[in-house]
Structure 1
Amino acid sequence: MATPDEPISRFKKSMQDVYGPIDDLTAEKAKTWDPPSSPGAGGHRGRYLWTDAFGVVNLITLYKETSDPSCLELAKSLVRTVHDVLGRTRDGTARLPGATDSAPLKGGLRIGKLDEGGRDGDGQYHHYLTLWMFALNRLSVAAGDRGYNDLAVQLAAAIHPHFVHRSSSGRLSLVWKISMDMRLALVPSEGHLDGATGYVIYGLLQRTAAHFDSSSPRVLEAELKDYSEIMGREGGRGLTASTDSLDLGMGLWMCHLARGEPWADRLGAESMYMALKALGRDRGPPSRRLAFREFGLCLGARCYGAEGLVAQGVDELVRFWEEYEDELDGDLRPISLVMYAAAIMPGAFRKEYLPLTK
């Protein structure tokens, strides 16, 4: 990753290290491109939902930066492959329960964990699914095709009743992980910012649906009401800046999407202060660190608007990992590479990069 020096060249190299020699494909060939399953994005049958969500958004960034239509076609092909692999059972013989050929995301999407069961086995994560919804939304806007946002809405509506529950006392709760068939809660605790992220992403999908068809009923209205209620518990005091690099960075990214809302501005300011502290501390040798989590911090800070010492700290952290590329080995290499690319060139992760315009 250390050379060549231009950010877009380093960006392309990282993407090709994960997805193969995509730079040589024409737009026509990109339409039938099959992403590699080995090494691919890691995960089961070469697909991992978080990594491929970054892959889709990064390809849209390349499309906007280069005006190369093959990048947009590659993003579409990657979406198709993810739905064909992670939208099906692990043996690939059937769609996930609830899904059909005409509604492929009504059964949700698997994480893509290598193991089927166990503590860290396959299933469905709320925060992975909302990130995939964002990727579909960005593809919809970039391509001018409402179909991808419609798929994101389909996914959002399908998973919601399986993650969000109301107790006998009337309190709404949000679980962190459910089974592949969406029937069981595997991790009943609540992700730190899952409720707020659901509120932000579902709102983005709703606005985009209205952009494509202003006469249609407002989608996801009931779901957004639930997320608003979850966020409002205890006066919103649960929305605090994280000390974890990845959570802190994705929180900053989420807040920049909701800039102007009081809760997002407050949390964003607190998180930037925490980012400054995190970037200034000694993190130890690379062997004791996880690069992808630190790239998440860099991405979020840049999207929110890093300046001064924060911007300097982000630059230094990226350069650190460029010097230790050899540490990005094993199962985490694909996720580290796509997040590195997004950290050096956030592109389509930024709200203003793909504005909704009439």
Structure 2
Amino acid sequence: MNDIEQTTANAKTLMRQFAKRTGLDPENDQTSQRYLWTDAFALLNFLALKKSDGSNVNQDSALKIIHEVHHHLGKFASNDPRTGWISELPEEKAKNHPTVKGLRIGKQLPERKPEEAYNQQLEWQRDGQYFHYHTRWITALLKAGELLEKEEFAKWAAELSLAGSYFIIHKNNDISMHWKMSVDLSRPLVPAMGAHDPLEGLLCALQAREMSEFYNEEFDIYIEDLKLLCQYSNWQTEDALGIGGLLLNVIRATELQKKMDLPDAVKPESLLRVVEQSLKAFYRSYEPEKSAEYRLAFRECGLSLGLRCLKGNLEFLEKNGLKPDIDSEIWSIADEIEAFWLSPEHTQVSTFQDHLDINQVSLAASLLARKAPHIYSRTH
């Protein structure tokens, strides 16, 4: 078995375990456990596996996870006094528009009530809607629609994108954004903006509009708001997961730039320069021998996924005038991260087991991106 075959086999094992634990395995009657961030990458993983071996099993898993996400996270939770679809549309119409008013995170605790005091630590455990999780699911839906030839998936992605307009606030001639809203999108739960939310929101909105041919005045206004927010944003970061997202966005922006003129702040050339600076800053404090107890696998695998995708798209980037300036030592980080988290001794620590689903799914994504980088970074 060569290296790529072994890598794919490792990813298959990780995804098989995830499917059994979360109620996706047809031979397991376990209750479905859905979490939007994890499921977005899981969907892409099943699509990558389907592309790799043509298996109907992986296609069925991809279709099932879409159905389960929409029918669980598109509805109020079982511990919520409200029932039915978040959109409050009649049942049949809601099924045809499952994302029209967003999707829940999937946290176990109910959202904070209006009269409850804000508790920063507890807020991470409470339900609601995350803007950044929306963008992950939009990207996954668009890719699923393309590969599985399902036009309605692009429509659902566009409707979910437009739900992001609820996160934007206009006040006193100023514009701002919240990264967490209540389940019904009526009030902010965290009155702050995610560092890369406007960037990801804009790229997703432009891709969803282009692929779904969903045009209306409200969507145009939303896109203009995102452009304005991007104008005053700084994308540089030393966070592994944040850099991984930027790496993917360089590729997505390059693809979009071929079809439309992007704002200066999100042009691929600008994003690439920020990525190069961020990677150098990250590498200065990178500790590959650091104990697993003090590391978060899903954050590191987000970086290795981004590096895999950028490397796998170098020819595409160069054809479009981009040539990344990244040292060989930085490229090798992806190998080091994957090898570290494939070691059984490192996956037994509490920091891995406490986030088992997202850790395994993120690792599988990084592994699969060696062979199929386009699944995670391009719409075509």
TM-score of the two chains, using structure 1 as the length reference: 0.83
Pair 1:171-2:168 in alignment: no
Alpha carbons of structure 1 residues 282 and 163: separation in structure 2 relative to 1, 3 Å:
same
CA 1:325–1:331: 2 relative to 1, 3 Å: closer
Residue 54 of structure 1, aligned match among 29, 41, 61: 41
For 1:241, give the aligned amino acid.
Answer: Q
Given that 2:74 and 2:86 are in contact with CA atoms closer than 8 Å, whether structure 1 keeps it comes out as yes
**2:133 is the counterpart of 1:113:** no
One-letter amino acid of the counterpart of residue 147, structure 2: A
- Which residue in 1 is equivalent to 2:10? 10
- Counterpart for residue 20 of structure 1: 20
Q: Any residues of structure 2 matched to 1:243-258 within 5 Å, and which? A: 243-258=238-253
2:161 aligns with one of 156, 161, 174:
156
Match of 1:265 among 221, 245, 269: 269
Task: Give the equivalent residue in structure 1 for 2:115.
Answer: none
Give the 5 Å matches for 1:1-358: 6-20=6-20, 33=26, 46-91=33-78, 93-99=83-89, 100-117=94-111, 118-120=122-124, 121-157=126-162, 159-168=163-172, 170-210=173-213, 220-233=219-232, 238-259=233-254, 263-279=267-283, 281-282=286-287, 284-305=290-311, 308-323=328-343, 324-327=346-349, 329-346=352-369, 347=372, 348-352=374-378, 355=380
- Aligned partners of 1:126 and 1:194 also within 8 Å: yes
Secondary structure of 2:355's aligned partner: helix
Secondary structure of 1:230's partner?
helix
Out of 257-266 and 111-120, give the one that drifted further.
257-266
Rounded to whole Å, the distance in 1 between the matches of 2:217 and 2:333 is 42
Secondary structure of 2:348's aligned partner: helix
**By how many angstroms is 1:206 displaced?**
1.4
What letter is aligned with 1:286? A
1:345 maps to amino acid: L
In the alignment, structure 1 segments of 5+ residues that lack a partner are 23-29, 39-44
Percent identical: 24
Whether the 8 Å contact between 1:34 and 1:78 is mirrored in structure 2 is no
Cα pair distance change 1:119/1:73, threshold 3 Å: same
CA distance in structure 1 between the aligned counterparts of 2:218 and 2:56, rounded to whole angstroms: 30
Residues of 2 paired with 1:173 and 1:37: CA distance? 42
C-alpha distance in structure 1 between counterparts of 2:21 and 2:185, whole Å: 36
Aligned Cα root-mean-square deviation (Å): 2.8
Deviation at 1:178, TM superposition (A): 0.2
Single out whichever of 275-284 and 330-339 deviates more from structure 2. Answer: 275-284
How far apart, CA to CA, are the structure 2 residues paired with 1:112 and 1:21?
Answer: 15
Tell me if the contact between 1:136 and 1:149 (Cα under 8 Å) persists in the aligned partners: yes
Deviations 1:240-264 (A, max 9, x none): 3211111111122122210255533
Matched residue SS, 1:317: helix
Return the alpha-carbon distance in structure 2 between the equivalents of residues 269 and 56 of structure 1. Answer: 30
Aligned residue type for 2:97 = A
CA contact 1:19–1:36 (8 Å) conserved in 2: no
Q: Deviations over 1:138-170 (max 9, x none)?
A: 11000122110111112222x2331012112x2
SS at match of 2:52: helix
Q: What SS does structure 2 have at the residue aligned with 1:186? A: strand
CA distance 1:329–1:270, change in 2 (3 Å): closer
Cα distance, 1:69–1:267 mapped onto 2, change above 3 Å = same
Q: Distance in 1 between matches of 2:139 and 2:206?
A: 11
Between 1:239-248 and 1:325-334, the stretch displaced more is 325-334
In 1, Cα distance between the equivalents of 2:300 and 2:276? Answer: 14
1:14/1:338 contact within 8 Å kept: yes
Counterpart code for 2:74: G
Residue identity opposite 1:320 in structure 2: F
Q: Partners in 2 of 1:36 and 1:336 — Cα distance?
A: 23
1:84: Cα distance to partner? 0.8
> In the aligned structure 2, how far is the partner of 1:243 from the partner of 1:302?
18
Question: Residues 298 and 278 of structure 1: is their aligned pair in 2 closer, same or farther, counting only changes over 3 Å?
Answer: same
CA distance in 2: counterparts of 1:338 and 1:63, whole angstroms: 16
Query: Against the structure 1 CA distance between its residues 37 and 179, is the aligned structure 2 distance closer, same or farther, given a 3 Å change threshold?
Result: farther
On the 8 A contact 2:238/2:281 being kept in 1, the answer is no
